Amino acid sequence: MHEDPVLEITELSKTYGRKAGGVRAVQDVSLTVRAGEVYGFLGANGAGKSTTIRMLLGLITPTSGSVRLFGKDLRHGEPSRRLGSLVDGGAFYPFLSGRKNLDVLARTQGLGTERIDPLLAQVGLEKDGKRKVKGYSTGMRQRLGVAAALLNDPDLVILDEPANGLDAAGIQEMRRLIRSLAEEHGKTVFLSSHLLNEVQQVCDRVAIIDRGVLIREDTVEGILKTEESFHIVATPLDAARAALVESWPCEIEGDGLQVRAGRADAPEILRRLVAAKVDVFSMAPHQRTLEEAFLAITGTETADA
């Protein structure tokens, strides 16, 4: 991975409708994606992920802000030949075969057709390439979408929900494909996904967007580290909570207390509990998953990210 920014978004905003009664879908989002990294873009439904991605692709005009692609300002409506994208994976001409769809897309981009068959093989559609897309399953369309995104051998691949509609094996295959794009082919991948477990496994860095506002940008490790916690089984729980809550965020969960704190804080936590005359039965570090961290950061209750 290099430090050169491939994609720089600065204070990007989108308001739908007139300014007074308009809906602010994205507000002042700034982020940087470096060459060779897999960058995850997380957010709940309606958080502004797709709107941001569509602005990067010139599908939606930003209300304000700027996008720099490979060091150059991206003017709205100006296509970039170094960019490949998958948006709404199933969006293909239903009356054409998968192969013919890629043919149309290759011609649109002024490309030859020599990459079509290897790409169909790469996404596992070599046998179905001649079938009409209207007969494809969601997963097959999604895989065709990935082939379409790679057709121009782009340096930056933007994937909007690439694992949508895939079964467990398909998701695993997609994960492998995304990692290989970065590690073996040196491509930069910018992906949005609601499958946080997948994001945790494939992404180097992530940004979390909530209600149109970017609230966190960090490495996956960085986010997980700040979301370390301990599960303490003790009694009485109210007294335990009272002893700790001033220094660390804590919540009573079932028969224990969930305390958000780092490993270095463990001795001090124990000392305070003992001083408060709380009986401690166990204290176990709990490594949160990205999903748990996401929920904690966005303050949402559901796992629908």
Partner 1 sequence: MRNLISAEWTKMLPHKGTWFLVWLYPVLFFVIFAITIMVASKGTKPETVAGWIEDTSVVWHIASISLGRYLIAGYFAVVFAGEYGWNTWKLVVPHASRWKLLGSKYLVTLGLLYIAWIATALISVLMRYLGSAVSGEALPQGLTLGTILYEHGKLLLLGIAPLLITAGYATTAAISTRSTLATVIISIVLVTLDELLGKIVQWLSSYGMEWPAIPYRILPGYHLQNLASWMAEGAGFQAKLATGTVIAYSETVSLLAIAGWVVGLAGLVLWVFRRQDIN
The residues binding partner 1 (CB under 8 A) are 16, 50, 54, 57-61, 77-80, 83, 85, 87-88, 90-96, 100, 103-105, 107-110, 148, 152
**d(C-alpha 168, C-alpha 55), whole Å:** 31
Q: How far is the CB of 128 from partner 1 (least distance, A)?
A: 18
Q: Which two tokens stand for residue 47?
A: 């958080």
Q: How far is the CB of 254 from partner 1 (least distance, A)?
A: 43
DSSP single-letter state for residue 264:
G
* Residue with smaller CB distance to partner 1, 51 or 200: 51
* Residue with smaller CB distance to partner 1, 16 or 281: 16
Return the axis-axis angle of helices 138-150 and 98-108, rounded to nearest 10°. Answer: 30
β-sheet bridge partners, residue 5 = 34
**d(C-alpha 26, C-alpha 41), whole Å:** 13
How far is C-alpha 296 from the geometric centre of its chain's CA atoms? 16
* Residue with smaller CB distance to partner 1, 57 or 266: 57
Measuring CA to CA, which residue among 30, 63, 67 is closest to residue 216? 30
Q: How far is the CB of 192 from partner 1 (least distance, A)?
A: 15
* Residue with smaller CB distance to partner 1, 161 or 198: 161
Q: How far is the CB of 239 from partner 1 (least distance, A)?
A: 53
* Residue with smaller CB distance to partner 1, 144 or 232: 144
Q: Return the H-helix or E-strand segment holding 221.
A: helix 220-226
Q: How far is the CB of 151 from partner 1 (least distance, A)?
A: 9
